[in-house]
Amino acid sequence: MSTPVAVLGAGSWGTALAVLLARNGVPTTLWGRSPQAVVDMATARANTRYLPEMKFPDALGITGVIETCVRDAGIVLIAVPSHAFRDLLDTITPWVGPGVGIAWATKGFDPGSGRFLHELVEERLPGHPAAVVTGPSFAKEVAAGLPTALTVQSNDPEFARKLARLLHAPTFRAYTGTDILGAELGGAMKNVLAVATGVADGMELGLNARAGLITRGMNEILRLGTALGAKPETLMGLAGLGDLVLTCTGDLSRNRRLGIALGRGVPLKQAIAEIGQVVESIVTVDEVVRLAQRVGIELPIAEHVQHVLHEDMTPEEGLRALLAREQKPEYPD
């Protein structure tokens, strides 16, 4: 029998991954925080709030009891928002068995400390195989069975291969690698940059502006990533460029939709409420800017997204300030 997997977090992404695993014949249990949501999912055999279109296979277990779920697992896959990651990890740490692999599909940093999620995992569960599962993957498209490619980057190549094998399906390709930091950085930064392209599109600034922002955004990912030790190939791969393109151009993206709403003049609070799901850029932007300041890297687009999200700069002022920056070489010689 295949390794049992506990998927923690029953939002749209945790649900999609759990269903994918269960359809592949992997014994999978999906844990949700809300008792009512757990009852509803068990009754409807679907996550009617977050991903109604994806019916649960009979074999998928649903639970509200996190301790048993984690104790019974050979792999724990965390899919809660980044703001909930540290507390969840602290909760489950005593129940994780020896050698159990820890994976996460969360995109972002530990808010407040700005630490990478893999640092939290390695600190609490030293010696365990650890992996980030990331890449261009809208839950709704996975639910619809549309072709998707993502990457599993791990400190343990055997664990990466195993997890990728469990996820791999006829319309779901899972690649592997060893650059956790690069993959995490790409997945976090693309959310911030998607707000910028969303703002430009909301202001109807045209396709040239969108392409310019995506490309200069990629430059920001590359500069910060390589300064922190990420591999350029990871940043130019599924976890970086791939997810940047998806999130900056795909209207299913909540981060892009936030930008579009702001660009159209919708107030921040109203835009967040209308989206009604996690919008990671709101917390991630502060950590990205802080991280860049720590290593002395300027990130004009990310910094202006921060001004617009948190410092009362209007989208118009943000874009005008970006355009008014001094002329410079496209990249250092």
Chain residues that interact with ligand 13P, rule: CB under 6 A: 107, 136-138, 191, 194, 243, 246-247, 253-255, 280
Binding at 84: pick from ligand 13P, ligand NAI, none (beta carbon under 5-8 Å per type): ligand NAI
Closer of 194 and 214 to ligand 13P (Cβ): 194
Q: Which of 27, 61, 81, 217 binds ligand NAI (CB under 6 A)?
A: 81
Q: How far is the CB of 170 from ligand 13P (least distance, A)?
A: 20
Of 55, 140, 162, 190, catalytic? 190
190 flagged as catalytic? yes
Stretch that binds ligand NAI, among 131-139, 169-177, 230-238, 264-272 (CB under 6 A): 131-139
Both tokens assigned to 289: 């800017």
Closest CA to 3 of 75, 84, 89: 75
Binding mask 93-112 for ligand NAI (x = CB under 6 A): ------------xxxx----
- Assign 173 to helix, strand or coil: strand
Starting at the earlier edge strand, list the strands of the sheet with 130-134: 61-63, 28-31, 5-8, 75-78, 101-104, 130-134, 148-154, 172-177
Among 9, 101, 186, 240, binds ligand NAI (CB under 6 A): 9
Q: Please name the residue that has the structure tokens 């590359």.
A: 222
In the numeric block, which tokens belong to residue 167? 């996820």
Q: What letter does residue 56 receive in the DSSP assignment?
A: P
Asked whether position 80 contacts ligand NAI by CB under 6 A, the answer is yes
Nearer to ligand 13P, 27 or 242 (CB): 242
Q: Which one, 107 or 162, has the nearer CB to ligand 13P?
A: 107
Identity of the residue numbered 332: P
Phi, psi angle pair for 69, to nearest 5° = -55, -45
Please give the size of the binding site for ligand NAI, defined by CB under 6 A. Answer: 25
- Please, what sign has the CA dihedral across residues 111, 107, 252, 250? positive
Catalytic residues: 190
